Copies of this chain bind each other. A is one copy, B any other.
Amino acid sequence: MTERRLDRSSGQPLWKQLQQDLVRRLRGGEFDEVFPGELALVEDYQVSRHTVRQALTKLRADGLIVAERGRQPRVATAPEIRQPMGALYSLFSSVEASGLTQHSVVRALDIRADGVIAARLDLEESIPLLYLERLRFAGDEPLALDRVWLPASLAEPLLDADFTHTSLYNELAARTGLRLDHGREDIRAVVPTPAERALLRCPPEAAAFSINRRGTSHNNPVEWRHTLVRGDRFALSAEFSANTGYRLTTGAVTHAGA
């Protein structure tokens, strides 16, 4: 093991320096296989076990590593289940909870260029994008119109996937190893256009949610998504408390016409 050095006269506590260095190495993927044990770190950095534990305590509090008695600490698995996908995840988990079956009709799946979308992903206008357009059903009635753009360089393996029943994120993770870890979304209330209303078979007086999302993975833009959800069938639900903050919960999806 190479001997690492910490600056003992920098004013910053040793454990903080150690913690920051570990975060840096961790983000660099250095510990994807095994995370060094406490005693190994004591040797490497030439500090006491107490100091090492102080640094590891912070890392655990931040959810970066997990540790158990008698076994080596490990890098925390990407919390894929924890808060996967905001409003859309809430939407589709609500459908499942309602007992309705989900399926999609793929209306388009190809590669094309779109300057406007590319710009939103911080890409060159001419960069080819994989485009997927689906009409999503809950039960026998349409629920949402879903359109996604991803850089073709990343998402090309998805071209021959069958999206009638599988989720985009599962397929993306399975075929490319990519997983979104950050995103931003805007949610608007709109009245659908006649064309959209016909597609979704909306009653004439219904409103809709219009959701725009930009998803990234390790700070690289990965998807731009626009989803139009029938407002007469879906409600967003959320809980908040002083401890847990704001969390979307499973909402309500009603049968059409209810």
Query: Across the interface, do A239 and B78 meet the contact criterion of CB distance under 8 Å?
Result: no
In the complex, per-residue mask of A208-250: 1 if CB is within 8 Å of any chain B CB, else 0 = 1100000000000000000001010001111111110111110
Query: Across the interface, do A238 and B185 meet the contact criterion of CB distance under 8 Å?
Result: yes
Query: Across the interface, do B188 and A235 meet the contact criterion of CB distance under 8 Å?
Result: yes
Query: Across the interface, do B187 and A236 meet the contact criterion of CB distance under 8 Å?
Result: yes
Query: Across the interface, do B238 and A184 meet the contact criterion of CB distance under 8 Å?
Result: yes
- Which of A79, A236, A239, A248: most chain B CB closer than 10 A? A236
Query: Across the interface, do B239 and A79 meet the contact criterion of CB distance under 8 Å?
Result: no
**Does any Cβ of B come within 8 Å of A37's Cβ?**
no
**Does any Cβ of B come within 8 Å of A111's Cβ?**
no
Instruction: Take A83-B240, A238-B86, A240-B83 as given contacts and tell me if A189 and B186 are in contact as well, using a CB distance cutoff of 8 Å.
Output: no
Query: Across the interface, do A246 and B248 meet the contact criterion of CB distance under 8 Å?
Result: yes
Nearest-Cβ distance from residue A124 to partner chain B, whole angstroms: 26
A123→B247 CA distance, assembly (Å): 26
**Does any Cβ of B come within 8 Å of A95's Cβ?**
no
Report copies per complex. 2
Give the residue name and chain of the B residue nearest to A84 (CB): B240
Query: Across the interface, do A242 and B209 meet the contact criterion of CB distance under 8 Å?
Result: no
Query: Across the interface, do B184 and A237 meet the contact criterion of CB distance under 8 Å?
Result: yes
Q: Which of B183, B185, B189, B242 contacts A189 (CB 8 A)?
A: B189
Nearest-Cβ distance from residue A4 to partner chain B, whole angstroms: 25
Instruction: Take A83-B246, A208-B207 as given contacts and tell me if A187 and B61 are in contact as well, using a CB distance cutoff of 8 Å.
Output: no
Q: Which of B186, B245, B249, B252 contacts A245 (CB 8 A)?
A: B245
Give the residue name and chain of the B residue nearest to A87 (CB): B238
Q: Which residues of B contact A184 (CB under 8 A)?
A: 237-240, 249
Query: Across the interface, do B188 and A231 meet the contact criterion of CB distance under 8 Å?
Result: yes
Give the residue name and chain of the B residue nearest to A237 (CB): B186
Nearest-Cβ distance from residue A226 to partner chain B, whole angstroms: 13
**Does any Cβ of B come within 8 Å of A160's Cβ?**
no
Give the residue name and chain of the B residue nearest to A57 (CB): B57
Chain A residues at the B interface, C-beta cutoff of 8 Å? 57, 61-63, 78-79, 82-83, 85-87, 181-191, 205-209, 229, 231, 235-243, 245-249, 251-252
